[in-house]
Structure 1
Amino acid sequence: MYLKFYKPNNELLRKYIEGYYFLQDDDKSNSWHYNTFPNNYTIVTVMQDVSMTQSNNKIVITSSKETGISSNMVYRYTSPIEIFYEEPINEITLYFKPLGINLFVEDAARYYAMDHTTEINFDPFTDFKAEMQKILTISEREEQIETLENYWLSKYIDRDISMLEKIIKEIETDKRINEIAKKYNISRQYLNKLLQKKIGKSASEYRRIHRFRKSIVENNEVGNLTELSHENFFYDQSHFIKDFRELTHKTPGSFLKKVDTGKEVVWLFI
C-alpha cells in the first residue's frame, strides 16, 4: 500500500490537526505491516468494508463482505502496537493535536472516559459515517481533501482553550507538576482530572511521552545518549533507558538506529 501524509490546507485546521493520510484499495501490494509507538495525538481512523481483530497489542485488518463504515479513536497506548493489513482497503486516518479534538467534538470527554485498552467506536455526529462514506468513494484526491477539510470545518466549535494550552506547554518543560498546578490555583489531582477529560492522559504520562517523542526527533542533532537524555529533561541516562524500554520494548541505542528522522512522518511509523 502507498501512503502519503497531508498537512491541512486550511489555516484553522492546521492549529488543531497535525495531518491525515489516505489508504486506497486499488493499491498494488496485497498486504502491509508496521509498528506504532506511544504518542500524544488523538487518532481517528475511518475504514470502509473491513473486519478488525485486536489482541495482545496487535491489530489485524482485512476486507469484509459486510459493507459499511468502521470508525475508531485511539487516544492512549503505553507500549508498541503491531498493525497488519492483510489486504488493501479504503481508509482515512486523522491525527488531532493534543486538545485539538475538543474544538470539533462537543462531548469528546466521553470518548476519553472509555476503556483505552479496547477499540473505541467513534461516531460523534449524526452525519459522520454517511459523510465519511461519501469521502472515501471520491476518486480525485484534491476533491477528497477539500471535502474532508470542509466537513471538519463545519464541525468547528469556537471555544477558549488558552489556559489548557498554556498548561500543556508548561508540562512539556521540566517544571514540577505540583508547581504548575499551584500556578493555576488548582490541585495536582484536579489538574490530572482536567487533562484526563481533555486529552485522555495524566500530566506525568503526557510529559513522559512528549520527552520520548522529542528525543527521537532530536536524535540526529545530539552527540550521544547522555546529552540526548539531558536535553529532554530526563533525570539521568538510566531514567532515559527505562522509559525507552517501557515504551518501545527496546534500548534507546537499538531503537534510534532504525529511525530516519529526515522523514516527514517519522512519528507515524515508529
Structure 2
Amino acid sequence: MNYQTFQPRSALQSVIKCFWTLEVPAEESSRQRILPDGCIEMFFLLGDDVKRITGENEFIIQPRAMVIGQITEPFFVEPAGYVNSFAIRFYPYSFANFVSVPVSSLANKETPIGLLFGEEPAKELEQKIIHATDTIKRIKIAEDFLLKRLKEESTIDGIVKSTIDAMLATRGSTPINVLLKEDLSKRRQLERKFLKQIGMSPKQLGKIIRLQAALKMMLNQQSGSLTSIAYENEYYDQAHFTKDFREFTGTSPKDFLGDEAMALSALFYKAD
C-alpha cells in the first residue's frame, strides 16, 4: 500500500486536515475494515470499483466521487482490483462550511458530490480530478473548487469549535460536563449543534478521539501493554478500553494488530 498525505494551502488550513492518496496493486487488494475517525472525507475513486459490504451477500458499489459523512461504527470495503484514490480529509467541525444540508444527513453513508454541490459543477470537478496528471494538480483543482464555496461567515459557532479543540487537546479523555463546567443547559444546546454541524454527539466524538490516541500508541509501540495504554488514555480500566474498542472497531485490542482486514485502517491511524 502506498499512502501519502499532503497539507493544504494556508487559506484552507483551518478547515482541511489534509489531502491524501492511496494506491494498492490489484494483487494486494483485499477486504478491509474502515474505522470511525471523527472526520468527514471527500473521495475520488480513480482506479477500479470499490464495494461497501452491507450484508452477508449484499453490497453497494461506491460512487466514483462522493462524500462519506461521520461514521459511528466500522464497515467493510472490498476493491474490485487496482486501488487509486484521491481524498480530502476535513476537520470534524469544518465540512458544514461548504454545504447547505445538515451534516447529520450525511452520516454513515456515501453521498454523491452532485447532490451536495450541483450536478454540473460536481461533474466538472470530477472530470478535472480524473484527467489531472499528478497529485499536486489534483490538490490545486480541489482547493480552487472549495475556496469558491467556502462561506464568508463560518457556519460553525465558537462553542462547538472550542469544545472540539479541547477534546483534541485532552485526547478525548475529558468528559463534556467538565468542559462545560457542568452547565446542563449548555450541554443540551451543544448536543443539538453537534448533531447538525458535526454529524454525531459530543460524547461519540470524544470517544473516537480517545480511541485514536490509544490506537496510535498501539501501532507505534509506545507502551508495553494494553493495560498501560488503557490507563494512559484515562479509561477506567482495561475492560472499559476493550468495550469502547469493540464498539468502534468490531474487534478486541488484542486481535486488532494481527488482523489483515485492519491493515488499511492501521496505516491511516499510524500515519495520522
Structure 1 residues 184 and 159: CA distance shift in structure 2, 3 A: farther
How far did 1:245 drift?
1.9
Distance 1:23 1:266 in 2: 10
Number of the residue aligned with 1:212: 211
| Alpha carbons 1:112, 1:199 under 8 Å: kept | yes
Aligned residues: 257
Q: CA RMSD in A?
A: 3.6
Number of the residue aligned with 2:94: 100
1:124-164 CA distance string (max 9 Å, x none): 22312312212211223332332222222232234354432
Structure 1 or 2: more helix by fraction:
2
Number of the residue aligned with 2:161: 165
- 1:43 pairs, out of 41, 44, 54, with 41
How far did 1:201 drift?
0.7
Answering whether residue 130 of structure 2 is matched by residue 141 of structure 1, we say no
Alignment TM-score, normalising by the size of structure 1: 0.78
Distance 2:92 2:269 in 1: 15
- Equivalent positions of 1:43-82 (< 5 A) are 43-47=41-45, 54-56=53-55, 61=61, 70-82=64-76
Aligned-residue sequence identity (percent) comes to 20
1:75-123 CA distance string (max 9 Å, x none): 23333222111133664322111112123x14252x4235x34433333
How far did 1:238 drift?
0.9
Answering whether residue 146 of structure 2 is matched by residue 152 of structure 1, we say yes
Number of the residue aligned with 1:232: 233
Tell me whether 178-187 or 72-81 shows the greater mean CA deviation: 178-187
Distance 1:72 1:142 in 2: 20
Structure 2 spans left out of the alignment, 5+ residues? none
SS in structure 1 opposite 2:117?
coil
SS in structure 2 opposite 1:175?
coil
Partner AA of 2:113 in structure 1: F
Tell me whether 182-191 or 148-157 shows the greater mean CA deviation: 182-191
Distance 2:258 2:53 in 1: 29
Number of the residue aligned with 1:113: 105
| Alpha carbons 2:41, 2:67 under 8 Å: kept | yes
Number of the residue aligned with 1:131: 125
Distance 1:239 1:23 in 2: 33
How far did 1:210 drift?
1.0
Distance 2:165 2:200 in 1: 15
Structure 1 spans left out of the alignment, 5+ residues? 63-68
Partner AA of 1:212 in structure 2: L
Partner AA of 2:65 in structure 1: S
Structure 1 residues 94 and 244: CA distance shift in structure 2, 3 A: same
Distance 2:27 2:252 in 1: 32
